[in-house]
Structure 1
Amino acid sequence: MFTGLIREFAEVVSYANTVLSLRANYKPAIGDSIAINGACLTVIELFESGFSVELSLESRSLLALENLKGKVHMEPALALGDRLDGHMVQGHVDCVGVIESLTQRENGLDIEISLPKDSLKFVIPKGSVSIDGVSLTVNEVKKESFRLTIIPHTLEKTLIASYKVGRRVNVETDMFARYLYHMFQKKEALDWNGVDRIMATY
């Protein structure tokens, strides 16, 4: 589990086959979960200046892999007792979105991102969404896209200030919206076994 607050910018050393190697100040242990651009990945190797993680076929089919170069967002998994800021992020990317527009508005940057309809239904006005692992608040939901406003602090602490129109980004919708949608879509009576089955899919 994560919060969507970026710990540091890691630097991609290499990405080949299924293994991504990163240079970072943070020192994980083998088997630790680390979110890279919002995707929860497992540490499989340590080296002097960083670590390597492995991407499954499922992960590679859902992520904007072209962004695994240069600097990337990194957040270690929450530990029991950590302060919970941001919002509850699983590191399970739902889909790739596309930046449609960037508009400067006083002290904020408005970003409009288009999504596949199957994922857009889980984006709620004033709800939470994770973009490349960054916890953000949704301002407006349109027919095929949604709008965010990024404050200067977030622009300083993330890579979002460098984003351009047309960039593809990893998107994780609000898990509570997904849970509720699936619960209310069920035609049969919902019991605790049903709840367990729903929770197991995430």
Structure 2
Amino acid sequence: MTIPLPVLDATLANAPRLQARNSAAFWAATGRSRGHEVIRRRGFLAVAGDERAGLRVLIQEPELTSEDLAEIADLAVAATGPVDMEDPFSATDLGHLRMGSWQMPVMLRLPAPVEAPAVAVAPVADDADLHGAERAVIESFGLGRFEPYRPGELFPKALLDEPGVALFTARVGGEVAGACVTVAANGFASHYWVGTTEAARSKGIGRAVMLGSLAPLA
């Protein structure tokens, strides 16, 4: 079922909805590539994964219906792994699920030229790049749920075939030192999982990854 969405301008007031839509596009693509169930409703999108990936719920509207809230609760109770929820509006009370919340910053950038990165940044092209990106993100974000490491679990190769999705790596001395994912959908693009290996931190690698992956979007 396709749910038509109104066109939104790139303003700070619209940033929460823009982020919600793009994040939903990213996690829907991730869910499909992993073979997990993707559930679409007007008020939220959910990806029901396995015991390691868990359940991800992406709230799409500041006011959910009672039916939405009941279904989200049922999904959370039935989840076989961790439960993560994104609410860019900070408007949904999840206390009944014993879940708290914190505000994540959203940066809005209009199209403009981008300076060259200080190190080599390139789209993921092969399994070595893909697995290097996985290891960098798992290490950077402390994703213990994906340990012990299984190649292709965090970023299945099928993710590279999803429309609008691209993965980038930064290499230093021939080794992957940083990585990120970009997702372009509905006329906007966002960055996800921008991270570096522990050995590469505080060396400008995160900035390089951002610049190198922004260039194709700008």
Under a length normalisation based on structure 2, what TM-score does the superposition of the two structures give? 0.25
Structure of higher RCO (CA pairs closer than 8 Å, 6+ residues apart): 1
Name whichever structure is richer in helix by fraction: 2
Name whichever structure is richer in strand by fraction: 1
